[in-house]
Structure formats: C-alpha cells, structure tokens
C-alpha cells in the first residue's frame, strides 16, 4: 500500500538566523523565507548610481535626511529583512538608522527591476513595503524604460507619478523633486 508523502517542514528564517550566516552571498528574508540576491548587472548599477546621485544631491541641498544604497539591511520585522537598491530616511525619522542597518520602513524605497527580480520587486517587495508603511516605492524598470512612483494611500499603494520612454517622475515624499528618465537611464558619461 502506497504511503502518502509527509508534508515537508518549512524553516522560518529570522533576522537572528540571517546574522549567523557566514558565507559571502547576499540574502533577503521575506515572510520568513530566505532568498538569495544575485549580484546586479553593470547596467543595473549604472541606473542605480544615476538615480542615487540625483536623490542624494536633492536631499543634501535641502538637509532633508539620509540616502543609502545597497547593500544595507532594512529590518522591517524579525522575518522580513531586505536590501533596497536605494532608500531615503527623513531627518525627523533618523532614529531608525542604526549601526547594523535601518530598523523600520524607509520613507522612500527604490528597486531597480532586473529580469531575475521581476516577481520579487513587483509583487513580494511591493506588498511588503506597503504592509509595513513605506510611504513611497519607486519601481525603475530598465527593460521597459519606465519609472513608476507608488505612494501609500491609506494601506495600499497607488501610482502617483509614472513615465515611460521619456518624461519625468515626481515624488510626494521629496516635494519638488523631478527626475527625468533620460537622467536615470543615461549610460554614457
């Protein structure tokens, strides 16, 4: 008589487990699941750098807070640790910035979408940042040459600014910021 397969026990990873890892790989934990984060491509890094410089200069000139780039731990809960490509923490919330990472949702998070991260960025992370109250979530999609700025409206994200191909996006969190797609997707210096 055949026996039914027993359900496989799934390990729930925590921030403490994550800290105990001793290899050189990059990981995130989303809803208790440990996920490997592959190294970004050179184009991903260019777009990330372009946008980070624009955000950093805007924030620094106005003394609005702090801009960071990956890899930096963002600890949303013991079972949710992520590495956004770029993030902004407002000056009045600087207490969430600690030596080991950012403990709480940043005010603005940017993810540069790559072919290996489409589901993670558009679904898993979007729901995660939404659930933990991230005020603004930027999806920068080089494959489609789009930038979608999502703002928290109650407990759900809604698009507050979108550009495709050309044009610019604006931010509700960083009032007065306008970023052109040409500046984000520039590959020549």
For 115, the token pair is 């072919």
What letters, b where the CB count within 10 A reaches 16 and e where it falls short, cover 173-187?
Answer: bbeebebebeebbee
Answer yes or no: are the C-beta atoms of 80 and 8 closer than 8 Å.
Answer: no
- Arithmetic mean of pLDDT, 102-116: 96
- Percent of the chain with pLDDT strictly greater than 90: 89
Span 163-178, pLDDT tens digits = 999 999 999 999 999 9
Confidence check: pLDDT of 6 > 60: no
HSE-CB at 66 with a 13 A cutoff on CA atoms is: 15
Confidence check: pLDDT of 139 > 70: yes
Confidence check: pLDDT of 8 > 60: no
Q: How confident is the model at residue 27 (pLDDT cuts 50, 70, 90)?
A: very high
Span 55-104, pLDDT tens digits = 999 999 999 999 999 999 999 999 999 999 999 999 999 999 999 999 99
Q: Evaluate if pTM is beyond 0.85.
A: yes
Confidence check: pLDDT of 117 > 70: yes
- Percent of the chain with pLDDT strictly greater than 70: 95
Can you name the CATH fold of 15-184?
Answer: tt1808, chain A (3.90.1570)
* Higher per-residue pLDDT: 76 or 188: 76
Answer yes or no: are the C-beta atoms of 102 and 83 closer than 8 Å.
Answer: no
Q: How confident is the model at residue 141 (pLDDT cuts 50, 70, 90)?
A: very high
- Look at the alpha carbons of 19, 20, 23, 27 in this order and tell me if their dihedral is positive or negative: negative
Q: Residue 169 and residue 164: Cα distance in Å, rounded?
A: 10
Q: Residue 137 and residue 185: Cα distance in Å, rounded?
A: 18
Average pLDDT, whole number, for the chain? 94
pLDDT at 7: 58
Q: How confident is the model at residue 47 (pLDDT cuts 50, 70, 90)?
A: very high
pLDDT at 24: 87
């Amino acid at each position: 008589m055949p026996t039914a397969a027993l359900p496989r026990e799934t390990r729930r990873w925590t921030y403490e487990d994550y800290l105990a890892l001793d290899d050189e790989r990059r990981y995130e934990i989303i809803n208790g699941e440990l996920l490997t984060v592959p190294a970004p491509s050179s184009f991903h890094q260019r777009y990330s750098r372009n946008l980070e410089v624009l955000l950093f200069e805007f924030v620094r000139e106005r003394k609005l807070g702090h801009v960071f780039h990956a890899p930096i731990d963002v600890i949303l809960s013991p079972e949710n640790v992520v590495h956004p490509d770029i993030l902004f923490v407002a000056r009045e919330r600087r207490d969430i910035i600690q030596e080991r990472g950012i403990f709480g949702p940043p005010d603005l998070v940017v993810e540069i979408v790559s072919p290996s991260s489409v589901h993670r960025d558009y679904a898993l992370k979007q729901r995660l940042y939404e659930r933990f109250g991230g005020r603004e979530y930027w999806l920068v999609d080089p494959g489609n040459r789009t930038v979608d700025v999502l703002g928290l409206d109650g407990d759900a994200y809604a698009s507050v600014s979108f550009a495709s191909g050309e044009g610019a996006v604006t931010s509700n969190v960083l009032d007065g910021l306008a970023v052109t797609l040409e500046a984000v997707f520039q590959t020549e210096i």
